[in-house]
Homo-oligomer: A and B are copies of this chain.
């Protein structure tokens, strides 16, 4: 989608909007790195890397507040309308979801602080597989945001179903394992929470994809079925 920022009479307004968009992408990059590190920390049992993920939280939070303030300032000062306003509102919502994805990455990283026996490590492999899919979703939705590309955004929207199915399968597998080896329950529960976190990350990527569609198409597609979005919005 052509952002057509040149239409603004005020060149300064363009600069401000571009700055905010860049900041969102920077924040997104940071969160993507957090999730990558969290997954690697678990797979490689790298406690230092896990702690690094926890420390990055502060930075992500700060960016959320800064971008939110910049958005409020731009609304008050520039009184944007139509697609400019939609962009600012979409950004306000996007950064909330990005920040929460960072929180989930933290939760996942904490699993790296535990130790697992050989059999339990199999679950970490399943979790890592699912995590890589969530990571691709996050990467793709940030890419769709950068280009404001609704087609790519919609692809992320549909990808969430695959992640949900994987989540259900792994959870079932983990419950069976707990039934067979009840002493493992506390540890396996940590894996279950992480897998749940990954499922939530998928949901949040889906949210962001909806904000992109909202900005480009001017339609709020939350609570709208995918076939409806495909047939009537895209």
Chain A residues within 8 Å of B, Cβ to Cβ: 61-62, 64-65, 68-69, 72, 75-76, 79, 81-82, 85-86, 89, 92-93, 96, 175, 178-180, 182-183, 185-186, 189, 220, 222-223
Contact = CB atoms under 8 A, between A and B. Distances in A.
A180 B185 CA distance: 11
Nearest to A200: B200
A76 B69 contact: no
Number of this chain's copies in the assembly equals: 2
A72 B80 CA distance: 11
A79 to B, nearest CB: 4
7 contacts: A65-B220, A72-B89, A93-B96, A96-B96, A178-B178, A179-B183, A179-B185
The 3 closest A-B pairs by CB, nearest first: A61-B223, A79-B79, A179-B182
Contact of A65 (B61, B72, B182, B222): B222
A64 to B, nearest CB: 7
Contacts of A222: 61, 64-65
